[in-house]
Structure 1
Amino acid sequence: MTRRIRTLLAAALVLGVAAGPASPAAASSPAAPAAPSAAGAHGAPALGALRAVLDELPNAHATAALVRVGDAGDAWQDSGGVHDLRSGRPADPNGRFRAGSVTKVFTAATVLQLAADGEVDLARPVRHYLPDLIPARYGGVTVRQLLDHTHGLPDGDFPGTDVHEWYAHRFDVHDPRAIVASATAKTRVAPPGKVQRYSNIGYTVAGLLVERVTGDTYENQVARRILRPLGLQDTYLPGASPRIRGPHNRGYQVFPMPDGTSELRDVTVWGVTDGWAAGDLISTTADLERFLVALFDGRVVPEPYLKEMFTLPADAPGATMSAGLQRYVLPDGRVVWLKTGGRWGYNTLIAATEDLSRTLVYSVNSTDAKGRGGNPVTEAITRAAFGVPSRPAPSGPPAA
């Protein structure tokens, strides 16, 4: 067991909290790793900087990281940190993890496949397909607007207002229809098509749309249309189960305490029905890389519908999100299309240039995976992978 792990574990035991799967763990906060000081030439991956970030794990910001970088046909993968704080054994580089809002890319691809099959019209109001779920006051919202976050729907209702309350409700099972009903009972937040506001609700509706149009479950449709054809054998949708099947690295979350201290708890087991079609996917870096390459290659969504994933809504000022992805311009002018995801204990990113000259997939076991301020480990990995020597790093909307 390394000195870094002994320090983390010792701090947990001093506070009298067991650091293991069944109990919360408290931890000290060693210094964060320095950001990579140099990038590769002409935007090439700075592999030395990437390795340096991984070598510093675990630290205050993350306990493990799994990274895969593609560079015009060359591939690099590595991992750092630990499987869990109790044993201190190395992180499993092939472990499964919660991909969070990366799920939205799979949902968008499924809807776009249905559009290509002639079963869905992207310009048609959602109410046409779901008249019993979408009230008349939201009758102008189109299927396309669900996917690009310009629908104007308010968020659904969930119990809790902070991480302690959400933790207490972590095993609640949520019905997507009830989530939509709680949202559509409220006043819209913006006229449809005019404002882009990132949220889960549009993709919850999209999942229900898939079910209504196909007469099948959302999970079966994603598996039939994407997972099985691409051979994504380690990717699945967990339904009501709060556990991760198969090998996986454990996730931890910092909890602020009333006395001003903090506590690091194992949050690996946590239900994801609040996210469903917007955020419940479990996968591996290898599977997500395969999906990313196949998607950009046109082997998941056919043209002209693939263009929807690389087109921003014209009438929403400042829009950065398309159907499932987000556009980011690097300092050297390269355009990257990406999607982030965050579930408690896990941060994920898939990103690539449209021509696939550079790809990046990571899973980082962030100790504040839902934090709004960004994570130094994920930022350092992204900067090094895209050859960006200083901030800003490509980043998605707040992880959901």
Structure 2
Amino acid sequence: MIKYRRALGGALTLAVAAGVTAGALAADRRPHAAATAAGSTDAAASQARLRGILHRLTTEDGAPGALVEYRDRRGSTVLTSGVADVKTGAPMRGDSRFRIGSMTKSYTATVMLQLVGEHRVDLDAPVERYLPGVVRGHGNDGRKITVRQLLQHTSGLPDVLDYLSPQEMLKDPLAHHDARELVGIALAHPPTFEPGEGWKYTNTGYLLAGMIIEKVTGRTYNDEIRRRIIRPLHLRETFVPGDSPEIPGPHPRGYVRPGEDAPLMDLTAFNPSSAGPAGGMISSGTDHNRFLDALVRGRLLRPAQLRQMMRTRPTGNPDGRAYGLGLESRPLPCGGVYWGHGGDILGYQTVSGATSDGRQATVMVNLDPGGPDAQDDDVEAAVQTALCGARPPAPAG
């Protein structure tokens, strides 16, 4: 689901899976003909490893299909493996749209930070200022929780998905879920910790963030994401579907495996209102990479707000990931860090990353939940392999 569900394999494990070495990266940087030839060889080997990871996702890991779209200043490449439909055997298309789950949080946080830049929202103001009386009960108190803490998962609020299981949604996947109703389900339980005293991923905070956006602007969060992000960036394959269970345009079927040995269940038609501003969007690898590039390189936020978004705190995971405001940083095995997010929603798993020098990668598979831990590891490894050099360097001179 939209719960933050990724295996906690360390950076060393992912570096081995990616097969990228510091020496290969250094060779790419030498500006002469020998370096260009060596870099091309390294990039070809890296792309071969990337194809191998996609093949493993669609064989050993059990996902029907997978794709990766990666790009840099020289252009973009899409690689696919497996099938979009297990009944017809139709291959995975490179221009496929997917449900992107919690990658939606980066869009929601971007809108909120734009409102901060317009002095319409204060990050360190209590939630109570914008949603009076909404966050109450069982020790939860909106007077003590700030907007920043909602976005950074430091609010201590219980996660609604701890109390709304995928099995319940499988019973009626087309049912509408109101954000206020979902928040109420979460607030019927005590907080995990006092605000600001810990870190725990919670979708409840982003449901409240969407409600704040609507209260401040007088428009739905769907409309604000379209008006502020989708239209300016010309993201023609990106949608905020609201209650619509359809995925517009070419897309793979989305599958879940309800038990270890259970057959795949087709859950392509699904009402994403249960995810809303925490995980309800649809996009393609091409569009999402364009969004990430614009975000990380300062085209969507003013410098002060981008710095706030990238001010991270450790999550406690041994791989070194840290969480900002709707955006996560993580070390690359070839050096440096990348920024991005992962997303899990019924039928689809997605992970993305971008670097400040203009590289982006998005990986998508059409099975979730029901894949093994190895699926999580391989999706992450594919992102890191793509970012660490699966494209030949530009010719010298």
Preserved contact between residue 332 and residue 384 of structure 2 (Cα < 8 Å): no
Matched, 1:42 2:43: no
Match of 2:145, as an amino acid?
Answer: V
Q: What pairs with 1:1-400 in structure 2 (closer than 5 Å)? A: 38-39=19-20, 41-42=24-25, 46-55=46-55, 58-59=58-59, 60-71=61-72, 73-135=74-136, 137-156=141-160, 161=165, 163-256=166-259, 261-313=261-313, 320-356=322-358, 358-366=359-367, 368=369, 374-387=375-388
Match of 1:152, as an amino acid?
Answer: G
TM-score normalised by structure 2 residue count: 0.80
Q: 2 CA distance for matches of 1:307 and 1:371? A: 36
| Pair 154,164 (structure 1): closer, same or farther in 2 beyond 3 Å | closer
Q: Displacement, 1:194?
A: 1.7
Q: What SS does the corresponding residue of 2:350 show, helix, strand or coil? A: strand
Structure 1 stretch displaced more, 100-109 or 164-173: 164-173
| Pair 89,73 (structure 1): closer, same or farther in 2 beyond 3 Å | same
Q: 2 CA distance for matches of 1:324 and 1:350? A: 13
Q: Displacement, 1:149?
A: 0.6
Q: 1 CA distance for matches of 2:371 and 2:58? A: 18
Preserved contact between residue 102 and residue 279 of structure 1 (Cα < 8 Å): yes
Q: Displacement, 1:166?
A: 3.3
Q: Displacement, 1:274?
A: 1.3
Q: Displacement, 1:317?
A: 7.4
Q: 2 CA distance for matches of 1:168 and 1:385? A: 38
Match of 2:206, as an amino acid?
Answer: Y
Q: Displacement, 1:72?
A: 5.1
| Pair 156,262 (structure 1): closer, same or farther in 2 beyond 3 Å | closer
TM-score normalised by structure 1 residue count: 0.80
Aligned to 1:9: none
Preserved contact between residue 257 and residue 371 of structure 2 (Cα < 8 Å): no
Q: What SS does the corresponding residue of 1:263 show, helix, strand or coil? A: coil
Q: 2 CA distance for matches of 1:158 and 1:240? A: 22
Q: Displacement, 1:283?
A: 0.8
Preserved contact between residue 257 and residue 370 of structure 2 (Cα < 8 Å): no
| Pair 86,149 (structure 1): closer, same or farther in 2 beyond 3 Å | same
Q: Let me know the Cα RMSD of the aligned residues.
A: 2.7
| Pair 77,98 (structure 1): closer, same or farther in 2 beyond 3 Å | same
% of aligned pairs identical?
36
Q: Displacement, 1:159?
A: 6.7
Preserved contact between residue 153 and residue 201 of structure 2 (Cα < 8 Å): yes
| Pair 369,296 (structure 1): closer, same or farther in 2 beyond 3 Å | farther
Q: Displacement, 1:205?
A: 0.2
Aligned to 2:6: none
More helix by share: 2
Q: Displacement, 1:112?
A: 0.3
Deviations 1:115-148 (A, max 9, x none): 1111101111110011031238331111111111
Q: What SS does the corresponding residue of 2:88 show, helix, strand or coil? A: coil
Aligned length: 349
Structure with larger RCO (C-alpha < 8 A, sep 6+) = 2
Q: Displacement, 1:196?
A: 1.1
Gaps of 5+ in 2: 1-15, 27-41, 391-397
Q: 2 CA distance for matches of 1:142 and 1:367? A: 32
Gaps of 5+ in 1: 1-34, 390-400
Q: What SS does the corresponding residue of 2:323 show, helix, strand or coil? A: coil
Q: 2 CA distance for matches of 1:342 and 1:239? A: 17
Q: Displacement, 1:169?
A: 3.2
